[in-house]
Amino acid sequence: MQKVNSNEVPELHWSSPKGKFGGYGKQISEALGRDPASTDALVRHPFDIEIARLEPGQTPYPYHSHSAQWEFYHIISGTGKVRDESGITPVQRRCRRSGLLRGCRQSERRVVPLSGQRQVYRSITRAALATQ
């Protein structure tokens, strides 16, 4: 078993070329040995975990879907809005309250979170569909 302390995983920054989309993330799976370029499922891992951070008003990426991947979001702290196929929903996570848990099937469009008034921390778990 491998262990990692998320406080010791470096935080990476990403942004779109014009800066409209962006955020910060800790690549937990890669810190645990995941090689995203590998074709070996045991090395690539069947799922990917990231702890993402968004500044107030920041949107991480455009409204989108994945054709062969599920995503699971857990809002750890902060406030913002989530946009999905049913509309826009406000979300918040504060100390001692349960956070939003949201599963997104493959091909289901989403932006999680769309924007926030407070800094948002969330964990994202991505799982590729198994092929046989």
Evaluate whether 122 touches 52 at the Cβ level (below 8 Å): yes
C-alpha–C-alpha distance, residues 51 and 74, integer Å: 9
pLDDT tens digits for range 66-89: 777 777 777 777 777 778 788 887
pLDDT tens digits for range 16-72: 999 999 999 999 889 988 898 888 877 887 778 888 888 888 888 888 887 777 777
With 0.75 as the threshold, say if the pTM is over it.
no
C-alpha–C-alpha distance, residues 13 and 96, integer Å: 28
Total structural domains in the chain? 1
- Taking CA atoms, 35 is separated from 40, 67, 75, in Å, by 9, 21, 26
Residue carrying the six token digits 């979300």:
91
Among 12, 102, 6, 3, smallest CA distance to 60 is for 12
CATH label of the domain that carries residue 11: 2.60.120.10
